[in-house]
Amino acid sequence: GIQVEQSPPDLILQEGANSTLRCNFSDSVNNLQWFHQNPWGQLINLFYIPSGTKQNGRLSATTVATERYSLLYISSSQTTDSGVYFCAKGGGATNKLIFGTGTLLAVQP
Partner 1 sequence: DGGITQSPKYLFRKEGQNVTLSCEQNLNHDAMYWYRQDPGQGLRLIYYSQIVNDFQKGDIAEGYSVSREKKESFPLTVTSAQKNPTAFYLCASSIVGTAYEQYFGPGTRLTVT
Q: Which of 20, 26, 28, 42 binds partner 1 (CB under 8 A)?
A: 42
Q: Which of 33, 25, 13 is nearest to 74 (CA)?
A: 13
Whether the CB-CB separation of 88 and 102 falls below 8 Å is answered with no
In angstroms, give the least distance from the CB of 82 to partner 1.
16
Dihedral angle, C-alpha 48, 49, 55, 58, nearest 10 °: 70
Nearer to partner 1, 24 or 101 (CB): 101
Site for partner 1, rule CB under 8 A: 4, 30-31, 33, 35, 40-43, 45, 48, 50, 86, 88, 90-97, 99-102
